[in-house]
Amino acid sequence: MRTFEVLAWTESGGFVLYVPEVEALTRAGHVEELELAARDMIAELLGLEAAGIAIQLRFERPRP
């Protein structure tokens, strides 16, 4: 199991998810969708199985 830190914040009525390790963003409409959206994006970008990805979710914007 590989763990990824995911930063989440609200914007335009939904959520923005940022994965620092892969420097990528995605969006989700509802809080229930956050982990799934992040896991799917990471799996697609890195060619990993979604079942082998753990998410450490933090509600904060990345620092510049």
CA pair distance 1, 3, nearest whole angstrom = 7
Per-domain residue ranges of the chain: 2-59
Per-residue pLDDT tens digits of the chain, which is 64 residues long: 999 999 999 999 999 999 999 999 999 999 999 999 999 999 999 999 999 999 999 999 988 7
- This prediction's pTM: 0.91
- CATH of 2-59, picked from 3.30.2390.10, 3.30.1540.10, 3.40.630.30, 3.40.50.300, is 3.30.2390.10
Q: Give the three-class secondary structure for 33.
A: helix
Do residues 10 and 60 lie in contact, with contact meaning Cβ atoms separated by under 8 Å?
no
DSSP H or E run through 35: helix 34-46
- Show the beta-strand stretches assigned E in 1-64: 2-11, 14-19, 24-28, 53-59
